[in-house]
Amino acid sequence: MYIVQIASECAPVIKAGGLGDVVYGLSRELEVRGHCVELVLPKYDTMRYDQIWGLHDAYRDLWVPWYGGAIHCSVYCGWVHGRLCFFIEPHSGDNFFNRGCYYGCPDDNMRFAFFSKAALEFLLQSNKRPDVIHCHDWQTGLVPVLLFEIYKYHGMGNQRVCYTIHNFKHQGFGGPEILWATGLNREPYYFHYDRLRDNFNPFSLNFMKGGIVFSNFVTTVSPNHALEVQFGDYGYGLGHTLYLHRHKFRGVLNGIDYDIWNPEIDRFIPARYTAQTLEDKAKNKKALRERLLLQDVNKPIVAYIGRLDEQKGVHLVHHAIYRSLFKNAQFVLLGSATERGIGAWFAHEKSYLNDNPDVHLELGFNEELSHLIYAGADVIVVPSHYEPCGLTQMIGLKYGTVPVVRGVGGLVDTIFDRDYDPHKLPEQRNGYVFYHTDPAALESALDRAIDLWYTAPDQFRQLQMQGMSYDYSWNYPGKEYLEIYDFIRHR
């Protein structure tokens, strides 16, 4: 099968969060299974050019229709750890992708509407006719709309679209200008509740809703989240739309790429280990302490890695720091804030805790350090307010770092409480789960993890090994996506 992924991220060259990991990991799995996969991405000024091999211009004269005229683009091509990627670079005064950031500009909707249009125009002009186009999140929600309303009539009638939603909170909104810019025009037609009109703001188009309505298949990133978004609050207003399209909607649990996230072969950690040589994890713990200037004492290390954002339960992350210290554990945080207020809050905490030898807060994005933390820590906390899938708990498991998670979204599908899980046998359990959003709830799980570390090291080790034996690779999700592709191709 010939599959083209259109996305705004692909790790490690463009990574703001889990989306990048998923786009890369899924592409790799599909290729390993013998399919042809290509990726179309924006050419950001800030992406990691050192992670691209053989970057060269592949298509110099791509004119992308935009408003009444057209924007000239160049398309570059290169390999990102073996994946063939095409990067679109527009040349216009808008400077869509030369902003020093991936997201967060006031005209993000225009930037990614343009990207969606340019990606399809590129496929059309370069005679690429994939069997399946797989696009991701609001940034590419307009891809199926444009494909089935415009490009279908220009020779792309056989393409099918699978649309994966990684985060319902960010949906992409815009007014009629989006329609005029992309050539969709026909305001009354698109401003209809059955199409792109937002379910709550009648004056706004909703990109993600467009993706749901027009795609051949829609997925989100875990089975439990698929239920939450249809029947709970986490669909952020799209629950009813999803319910109407439920016959083509499913949750597929993300995987992680064990070529990258694997303590047996990880090149960023000083001591590699397996479940059988788990005692070598201690060398990484020592290295982590040295690197972050923590005192070398007999205490467990609790870690948090992730965005510092309301979604991630920052208040509980904050509480976990002090609770760990209170319980005589050390705490390491690696996180970047998405909002200024939260950034300032944690910067303040950092300076407040600066002289404490048992805690280190690293504010920023650091891929290499994250590997060392996964390998060196004993416990990883994921107290998310909501979590479509969550990768950090799965990575933690692979590194023998026991997850303490809140029971929402994909965390429910992946972590099973050591003491209480009703559906798993004791030897199948792999972490600690709490449900409420108050500090006491977090304590109910974190305390048990820290206490087990102190009072029953053998049992703690057993729990680590049980976690390491789980297979959350792309093997199963890869198969599931292929079934979906097959289904939409032959429907």
Query: Where along the sequence are the contacts to ligand ADP (CB under 6 A)?
Result: 17-19, 21, 305-307, 334-336, 365-367, 370, 389-392
Q: How far is the CB of 345 from ligand ADP (least distance, A)?
A: 16
Taking the least distance from each CB to ligand ADP, the nearer of 44 and 346 is 346
Would you say 90 or 335 has its CB closer to ligand ADP? 335
Judged by beta carbon, residue 366 or residue 437, the one nearer ligand ADP is 366
Q: Which is nearer to ligand ADP, 168 or 207 (CB)?
A: 168
Pick from 350, 16, 50: which is nearest to 166 by CA? 16
- Give the Cα separation of 203 and 178 in Å (integer): 12
Residue 7 C-beta-side C-alpha neighbours within 13 Å: 32
State the minimum distance, in angstroms, from the CB of residue 335 to ligand ADP: 5
Distance of CA 229 to the CA centre of its chain: 17
- Closest separation between CB of residue 457 and ligand ADP, Å? 27
> Position of tokens 């950001």?
44
**Closest CB to ligand ADP among 171 and 392?**
392
Q: DSSP labels for 78-103?
A: EEETTEEEEEEEEESTT-TT-SSSSS
Least Cα distance to 235 among 17, 15, 244 occurs for: 244
Q: Report the distance separating Cα 177 and Cα 162, nearest Å.
A: 26
CA distance linking residue 181 with residue 102, whole number of Å: 21
How far is residue 324 from each of residues 312, 330, 401, 485, measured CA to CA in Å?
A: 18, 6, 15, 46
DSSP annotation of 110 reads H
Name the residue with the smallest CB distance to ligand ADP: 18
Torsion angle of the four alpha carbons 175, 176, 181, 182, in this order, in degrees rounded to the nearest 10: 90
Please report how close the Cβ of residue 488 comes to ligand ADP at its closest, in angstroms: 25
> How far, in whole angstroms, is CA 255 from its chain's centroid?
11
Please enumerate in sequence order all residues whose Cβ is within 8 A of that of 458, keeping only pairs 6 or more positions apart, or say none. Answer: none
Whole-number minimum distance, CB 309 to ligand ADP, in Å? 8
Shortest Å distance, C-beta 217 to ligand ADP: 21
In the complex with ligand ADP, which residue's Cβ is closer, 258 or 454?
258
Query: What percentage of the chain's residues is helix, strand, coil (to nearest 5)?
Result: 40, 20, 35
User: Please, what is the minimum distance in Å from the beta carbon of residue 306 to ligand ADP?
Assistant: 5
Give whichever of 17 and 78 is closer to ligand ADP, judged by the CB atom. Answer: 17
CB closer to ligand ADP out of 146 and 332: 332
Q: Residue 348 class from Cβ within 10 Å (0-12 exposed, 13-18 middle, 19+ buried)?
A: exposed
Q: Which of 437, 436, 458, 460 is nearest to 448 (CA)?
A: 460
Minimum gap (Å) between residue 4 Cβ and ligand ADP:
22
Give the residue with the Cβ less far from ligand ADP, 220 or 392: 392
Minimum distance, C-beta of residue 342 to ligand ADP, in the bound complex (Å) = 13
- From the CB of 428, what's the least distance to ligand ADP, in Å? 23
Q: CA nearest 27: which of 103, 135, 119, 120?
A: 135
Nearer to ligand ADP, 209 or 225 (CB): 225
**Enclosing H/E stretch for 467:** helix 457-468
Cα separation, 365 vs 369, whole angstroms: 9
CA 187 vs. chain centroid, Å, equals 33
Nearest to ligand ADP of 18, 467 (CB atom): 18
Q: What's the closest the beta carbon of residue 412 comes to ligand ADP, in angstroms?
A: 14
Q: What are phi and psi of 144, to 5 degrees?
A: -65, -30
Question: Which one-letter amino acid corresponds to residue 82?
Answer: G
Question: Of 64 and 411, which has the nearer Cβ to ligand ADP?
Answer: 411
